[in-house]
């Protein structure tokens, strides 16, 4: 099977390369080698590679910046998705696209099902919802949340740095979601695509947490692994105490039942995968 990955240098893209099934021929591109907002460039690349599977791991993820730059966010998160999907269809390739919990407004009292009505609060969420529509009904669309991985900038690495530099860290405690380990998400995408899944599905690690809960767990695991030498106070704060240009959903836990059915069982708990990540950092930096 030949697979084309776009966004290949990001956390998820690297995870897709690392977890590709044996025998998969991979062609990976990122913004430095392919402008996915350029129709001609996308069509030429897809025609040249002629993949069986096209996985889109590229996204405009600067959530707050998108509030003042929505056109740029829409170009990547919306318009480009349509270009990639159409190019995939032209060569008979399956298209896999990754979306976000930010398509929801956070007012639900239970995990969001894939068929729940979206109501994004931010420009980022609006542009990602537009991308879902442009991917098409024949695509595999997987919404996820709070992604982090061994490489690149993410919440885990930011917390480790701040805990090593500051006498305390202050973390929002009234936004609830689920951390998701990028290599685990990547492996799930390969499996779901390989089983012919299509439509909208949800995937995160199991469980739920606030950003505060996540930060506390990061410090505990890092202290146990010797990545931090001193414990510092982790102070819970309200969203109102840390205003940002973009509004975030206060509750964005995703119902993953359809994905579990396709994958043959539940995902690992987020705390387990955090431990895996901390071990990776300890061993490889």
Q: What is the DSSP string of 152-165?
A: SS-HHHHHHHHHHH
Pairing of strands 169-172, 199-202: unpaired
Predicted pLDDT at 284: 83
Residue recorded with tokens 């690392």: 18
Which tokens go with 16? 């897709």
Q: How far is Cα 92 from Cα 100, in angstroms, rounded to an integer?
A: 26
Q: How far is Cα 60 from Cα 27, in angstroms, rounded to an integer?
A: 21
Predicted pLDDT at 153: 85
Q: How far is Cα 247 from Cα 122, in angstroms, rounded to an integer?
A: 6
CA neighbor of 214 nearest in space, from 267, 281, 147? 147
Handedness of CA 41, 25, 267, 213 (dihedral sign): negative
Q: What is the pLDDT of residues 184-194, one digit of tens each?
A: 999 999 999 99
Predicted pLDDT at 283: 86
Q: How far is CA 145 from CA 12, 178, 202, 255, 275, in A?
A: 12, 6, 9, 12, 18
Instruction: Determine the topology of domain 2-152+179-206+252-268 in CATH.
Output: Rossmann fold (3.40.50)
Predicted pLDDT at 109: 84
The whole-model pTM stands at 0.95
pLDDT in tens, the chain (285 residues): 999 999 999 999 999 999 999 999 999 999 999 999 999 999 999 999 999 999 999 999 999 999 999 999 999 999 999 999 999 999 999 999 999 999 999 999 899 999 999 999 999 999 999 999 999 999 999 999 999 998 878 999 999 999 999 999 999 999 999 999 999 999 999 999 999 999 999 999 999 999 999 999 999 999 999 999 999 999 999 999 999 999 999 999 999 999 999 999 889 999 999 999 999 998 887
Tell me which residues are annotated as active site.
Answer: 124
Q: How far is Cα 24 from Cα 51, in angstroms, rounded to an integer?
A: 11
Looking at the DSSP bridge assignments, the partners of residue 170 are 235
């Amino acid at each position: 099977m030949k697979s084309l990955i776009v966004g290949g240098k990001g956390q998820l893209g690297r995870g897709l390369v690392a977890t590709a099934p044996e025998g998969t021929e991979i062609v990976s591109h990122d913004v430095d080698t392919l402008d996915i907002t350029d129709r001609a460039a996308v069509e030429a690349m897809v025609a040249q590679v002629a993949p069986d599977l096209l996985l889109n791991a590229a996204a405009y993820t600067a959530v707050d910046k998108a509030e003042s730059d929505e056109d740029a966010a829409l170009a990547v998160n919306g318009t480009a998705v349509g270009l990639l999907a159409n190019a995939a269809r032209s060569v008979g390739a399956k298209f896999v696209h990754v979306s976000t919990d930010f398509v929801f407004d956070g007012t639900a009292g239970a995990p969001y099902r894939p068929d729940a009505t979206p109501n994004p609060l931010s420009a980022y969420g609006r542009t990602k919802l537009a991308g879902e529509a442009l991917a098409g009904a024949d695509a595999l669309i997987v919404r996820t949340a709070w992604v982090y991985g061994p490489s690149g900038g993410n919440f885990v690495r930011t917390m480790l740095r701040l805990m090593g530099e500051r006498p305390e860290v202050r973390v929002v405690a009234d936004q609830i979601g689920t951390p998701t380990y990028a290599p685990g998400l990547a492996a799930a995408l390969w499996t779901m695509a390989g089983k012919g899944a299509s439509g909208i599905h949800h995937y995160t690690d199991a469980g739920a947490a606030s950003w505060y809960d996540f930060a506390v767990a990061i410090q505990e695991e890092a202290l146990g692994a010797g990545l931090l030498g001193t414990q510092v106070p982790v102070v819970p704060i309200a969203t109102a105490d840390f205003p940002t240009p973009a509004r975030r959903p206060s509750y964005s836990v995703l119902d993953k039942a359809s994905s579990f059915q396709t994958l043959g069982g539940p995902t690992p708990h987020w705390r387990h995968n955090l431990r895996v990540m901390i071990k990776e950092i300890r061993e490889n930096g």
